[in-house]
Amino acid sequence: MSVDFVYHFPLPVLGVATPSDLIKDKACTPFNIGKAITLNGFKFKEAQALEKGLVDQVGNPQKVLGEILSWTGGQPFLTQKLCKLTIEVAKTENPLSVEQVVRSKIIEDWEPQDEPMHLRSIRDRLLYNKYRTKQMLGLYQFILQREEVDADGSYKQMELVLSGLVVKQNGKLRVYNPIFKEIFNQNWLNVELKRAFDSM
């Protein structure tokens, strides 16, 4: 007689969600089913592994890495992408500064250049629920105009943090980095707010 055993291994899940996104049974609370994990961006010391890839590609790799981090705020995906773009451009006849790479390869005409998709994911997360879009954009505008606001743990703030557009540091919310500030600027906000109000 043979017995077959079937093992079920939990699959890793990657993404962002608020507790209420995960809990359909209102009798459960987020405190008895899971644990929040806060992920922070790269600090200079943590990003030094990326510096190795810049060696022999750019002059003064440490300085270039510092400039990259000042643009990305340490946001992991953007930091790695900007390192890669900087190396690609350094191999051409007319190498560009980090700022020129950011402006020409990420910020200007950003939507078609957003490969693999990152900036469009942030935009889509802000705009996916037409009933909450105005609130999310209003809160983002408040942060953008004031540079930072007190974090209060509200659902709206949590949603905005999960979009990736803002970051919570030292009890304050602020725009994650200068790249996001330039792409998702007041002009972009004006267009999206008008669309949100016109669709209601």
**CATH code of the domain covering residue 130:** 1.10.10
Higher pLDDT, 177 or 41: 177
The SS3 assignment for 150 reads strand
Task: Kindly state whether residues 123 and 194 are assigned to the same domain.
Answer: yes
pLDDT of residue 200: 62
What would the mean pLDDT of 102-131 be, rounded to a whole number?
91
List 166's β-bridge partners, or say none: 175
Higher pLDDT, 58 or 69: 69
Which tokens sit at 136?
A: 């999310």
Which region among 2-16, 73-87, 137-151, 176-190 has the lowest average model confidence (pLDDT)?
2-16
The rounded mean pLDDT for the chain is: 82
Higher pLDDT, 91 or 33: 91
pLDDT of residue 9: 45
Please give the order of strands across the beta sheet that includes 166-169.
149-150, 172-175, 166-169
- Beta-strand (E) ranges in the chain? 149-150, 166-169, 172-175
pLDDT of residue 8: 45
- Beta-strand (E) ranges in 35-165? 149-150
Which region among 15-24, 55-64, 136-145 has the lowest average model confidence (pLDDT)?
15-24
Distance (Å, whole) CA 156 – CA 104: 33
Predicted TM-score of the model (pTM): 0.78
Residue that terminates a domain, selected from 85, 108, 131: 108
Q: Which domain holds residue 86?
A: 44-108
Task: Kindly state whether residues 83 and 123 are assigned to the same domain.
Answer: no
pLDDT at 59 > cutoff 60: yes
Q: Would residue 37 count as lying in a domain? A: no
Tens-place pLDDT, residues 130-181: 778 888 899 999 999 999 999 998 888 988 998 899 999 899 999 999 999 9
From residue 123, give the alpha-carbon distance in Å to each of 2, 8, 15. 55, 36, 15
Q: Would residue 176 count as lying in a domain? A: yes
Q: Would residue 151 count as lying in a domain? A: yes
Which tokens sit at 157?
A: 């703030």
